[in-house]
Every structure is written in structure tokens, then in C-alpha cells.
Structure 1
């Protein structure tokens, strides 16, 4: 498990590892600034996320570095921490699979199909 008192050491090691990679500064900035917020586009009155092919060159680069940064972090975590992260996602998805007060049976059916 990743111990609290080892966090600073782990953080320093991860930062150095990222900086040592090709385009390391950009990867580290991706971690420090948070995930790339995919832009939206309005099409036929509906708003949707842009496809990767629709991103500008700068946006595509930022999206790519987010993927690299996430990969580096996940590879640096002990397996039990990664398992906890996956478990949290599973619990979140399970919580979304519930009936909400005031929701019709048809609405519930549409949410789960």
C-alpha cells in the first residue's frame, strides 16, 4: 500500500521519472494542471464532445500527454492501490444503477439500457 509518510518520496520519484521521458515537462504539466477538458461542439442542436480527429493540434497534443501521464502514474502505483481505484469506479457505477425518487419505471429502464 502507498503509505502516507512515503508520499513525498513517491511524488519526487514520479516527477523525476516524468521529466526524464521525452516531452517530460509537458507530461508533468498535464499532471499538475489536471486532466484535459475535452471541448464540445454543437451539431444539429445537440452538444457533444469533439472527436479526437476534430481537436486542434494543441488540443490533440494535450490529450496525448494526459494519456501518457495517466499511464505513468498508474504504472507507478502498487497493484493493491490500482485495485482500490478500480473498485471505487465499480462502486460508483453500481450506485448509478439505482431507482431515483420520482422516476418512472420507464425512465429507470431507459437509464439502464
Structure 2
């Protein structure tokens, strides 16, 4: 017997994204997209999901190439890095 709390977890509630059931991927995909769109800056989060995570820019120092640190990112890249974390947390 399914209880109300189980139904809320499966369908997704305001503070919890819908759970993925292996035989209901298409339904879950639609619900998770709506859930993301309902978050603050939801369109940006969904866009980053569709386009993939930020490929961190690199910098060369003393002949060594390394990834830029967060504080070295451009404003746009920092925003994308922030939303990458949010989208990952939603999906996980």
C-alpha cells in the first residue's frame, strides 16, 4: 500500500525533485524538467543540463597549464559553475 509520503516522493514536491523509477524514465524526464524550471533561474539550470557542464578554462603559469580557480573565472563562467552544482544536486 502506497502512503501519501511515498506518492509525494515519486511525483516530486516543492522541496524535493521527483525520484527516478527505471521503467518510467520518460515521465520522470518531463517531471524533472518542470521541477528545474520551477527553481529560481530554472531556465538557466535546464539549459546547462542540456548543454553539459562548464569546461573549466585553463591558464598557463611558469610553463605549467592548470585549470582556473573559481575566483579566476569570468562572471559568466562563475554563474555556469554555480548552476552546474545546482543541477547536479537536483539530479542526484
TM interval, short-chain normalised: 0.7 to 0.9
1:1-113 equivalences under 5 Å are: 2-3=21-22, 5-74=23-92
Larger radius of gyration: 1
Which secondary structure state, in structure 2, belongs to the residue aligned with residue 21 of structure 1? coil
Using the size of structure 1 for normalisation, the TM-score is 0.62
How many equivalent residue pairs?
73
Structure 1, unaligned runs of 5 or more? 75-113
Q: Distance in 2 between matches of 1:10 and 1:38?
A: 30
Aligned-pair Cα RMSD in Å: 1.1
- The structure 1 segments of at least 4 consecutive aligned residues displaced by more than 2 Å after TM superposition are none
Task: Give the structure with the larger helix fraction.
Answer: 1
